[in-house]
Amino acid sequence: DTEVTQTPKHLVMGMTNKKSLKCEQHMGHRAMYWYKQKAKKPPELMFVYSYEKLSINESVPSRFSPECPNSSLLNLHLHALQPEDSALYLCASSQEYTRGPNYEQYFGPGTRLTVT
Protein backbone atom coordinates (compact mmCIF):
# COMPACT_ATOMS: atom_id res chain seq x y z
CA ASP A 1 0.00 0.00 0.00
CA THR A 2 1.64 3.23 -1.18
CA GLU A 3 -1.20 5.50 -0.21
CA VAL A 4 -1.21 8.64 1.86
CA THR A 5 -4.70 9.63 2.94
CA GLN A 6 -5.86 13.08 3.98
CA THR A 7 -9.07 14.23 5.60
CA PRO A 8 -11.11 16.22 5.06
CA LYS A 9 -10.98 16.71 1.30
CA HIS A 10 -12.46 20.19 1.57
CA LEU A 11 -12.68 22.57 4.50
CA VAL A 12 -14.27 25.98 4.84
CA MET A 13 -13.57 27.85 8.03
CA GLY A 14 -13.98 31.29 9.47
CA MET A 15 -11.12 33.34 10.79
CA THR A 16 -12.05 32.60 14.39
CA ASN A 17 -12.51 28.85 13.99
CA LYS A 18 -10.24 26.05 15.12
CA LYS A 19 -9.96 23.07 12.84
CA SER A 20 -7.54 20.23 12.15
CA LEU A 21 -6.25 18.47 9.06
CA LYS A 22 -5.34 14.83 9.28
CA CYS A 23 -2.87 12.72 7.33
CA GLU A 24 -2.20 9.00 7.57
CA GLN A 25 0.23 6.55 5.98
CA HIS A 26 0.82 2.84 6.56
CA MET A 27 4.02 2.39 4.58
CA GLY A 28 6.26 2.36 7.64
CA HIS A 29 7.74 5.71 6.64
CA ARG A 30 9.55 7.64 9.34
CA ALA A 31 9.35 11.08 7.72
CA MET A 32 6.18 13.09 7.19
CA TYR A 33 5.72 16.50 5.61
CA TRP A 34 3.20 19.32 5.35
CA TYR A 35 3.18 21.49 2.24
CA LYS A 36 1.07 24.48 1.26
CA GLN A 37 0.24 24.92 -2.40
CA LYS A 38 -1.37 28.01 -3.90
CA ALA A 39 -3.04 27.83 -7.30
CA LYS A 40 -0.63 27.51 -10.23
CA LYS A 41 2.37 27.40 -7.86
CA PRO A 42 4.69 24.64 -6.65
CA PRO A 43 4.25 23.19 -3.17
CA GLU A 44 5.96 25.11 -0.36
CA LEU A 45 7.37 23.10 2.50
CA MET A 46 5.95 23.98 5.90
CA PHE A 47 7.02 21.27 8.35
CA VAL A 48 8.96 18.01 8.42
CA TYR A 49 8.71 15.34 11.10
CA SER A 50 11.41 12.72 11.31
CA TYR A 51 10.89 9.82 13.71
CA GLU A 52 7.96 11.72 15.23
CA LYS A 53 10.10 14.73 16.07
CA LEU A 54 9.79 18.10 14.40
CA SER A 55 12.89 18.51 12.22
CA ILE A 56 11.99 21.42 10.02
CA ASN A 57 9.74 24.43 10.54
CA GLU A 58 10.03 26.75 7.55
CA SER A 59 9.18 29.87 9.58
CA VAL A 60 5.49 29.05 9.50
CA PRO A 61 3.17 31.37 11.49
CA SER A 62 2.08 29.99 14.84
CA ARG A 63 -1.55 29.86 13.73
CA PHE A 64 -0.46 26.58 12.08
CA SER A 65 0.44 23.95 14.67
CA PRO A 66 1.67 20.52 13.56
CA GLU A 67 1.44 17.36 15.60
CA CYS A 68 2.75 13.85 15.02
CA PRO A 69 0.99 11.53 17.52
CA ASN A 70 2.67 8.41 16.11
CA SER A 71 4.70 7.30 13.11
CA SER A 72 1.58 6.86 10.95
CA LEU A 73 -0.31 10.01 11.75
CA LEU A 74 0.27 13.68 11.14
CA ASN A 75 -2.09 16.49 12.09
CA LEU A 76 -2.12 20.17 11.29
CA HIS A 77 -4.08 22.28 13.76
CA LEU A 78 -5.44 25.54 12.42
CA HIS A 79 -6.48 28.56 14.48
CA ALA A 80 -7.24 32.18 13.63
CA LEU A 81 -6.33 31.78 9.99
CA GLN A 82 -6.36 34.58 7.45
CA PRO A 83 -8.01 34.53 4.00
CA GLU A 84 -4.54 34.39 2.41
CA ASP A 85 -4.07 30.99 4.08
CA SER A 86 -6.62 29.55 1.65
CA ALA A 87 -4.74 26.90 -0.35
CA LEU A 88 -4.32 23.20 -1.00
CA TYR A 89 -2.55 21.57 1.94
CA LEU A 90 -0.59 18.50 0.97
CA CYS A 91 0.80 15.83 3.22
CA ALA A 92 3.67 13.61 2.12
CA SER A 93 5.75 10.82 3.59
CA SER A 94 9.07 9.20 2.82
CA GLN A 95 11.15 6.39 4.21
CA GLU A 96 13.62 8.75 5.84
CA TYR A 97 14.41 12.44 6.03
CA THR A 98 17.78 13.04 7.65
CA ARG A 99 19.47 10.27 5.69
CA GLY A 100 18.10 11.68 2.42
CA PRO A 101 18.18 13.02 -0.25
CA ASN A 102 17.04 10.29 -2.55
CA TYR A 103 13.94 8.97 -0.83
CA GLU A 104 10.76 9.30 -2.83
CA GLN A 105 8.10 11.45 -1.24
CA TYR A 106 4.59 10.04 -1.53
CA PHE A 107 1.91 12.70 -1.58
CA GLY A 108 -1.67 12.60 -0.42
CA PRO A 109 -4.49 14.16 -2.46
CA GLY A 110 -4.59 17.24 -0.29
CA THR A 111 -7.15 19.23 1.67
CA ARG A 112 -8.60 22.25 -0.13
CA LEU A 113 -8.89 24.92 2.58
CA THR A 114 -10.94 28.07 2.21
CA VAL A 115 -10.79 30.71 4.93
CA THR A 116 -13.70 33.14 4.93
Determine, following the binding rule CB under 8 A, whether residue 110 of this chain makes contact with another protein.
yes
Give me the amino acid identity at 41. Answer: K
Could you tell me the CA-to-CA distances from 57 to 28, 39, 96, 113 in Å, in that order?
23, 22, 17, 20
112 sits near another protein (criterion: CB under 8 A): yes
Contacts of 116 (CB under 8 A, 6+ apart): 12, 13, 14, 15, 83
Q: Looking at beta carbons only, is 64 or 97 nearer to another protein? A: 97
Q: How many residues bind another protein (CB under 8 A)?
A: 30
The interface region with another protein, picked from 13-21, 59-67, 72-80, 94-102 by CB under 8 A, is 94-102
Binding part of the chain for another protein, among 14-22, 47-55, 66-74, 76-84 by CB under 8 A, reads 47-55
The reply on whether position 102 binds another protein by CB under 8 A is yes
Q: Are the CB atoms for 92 and 4 separated by under 8 Å?
A: yes
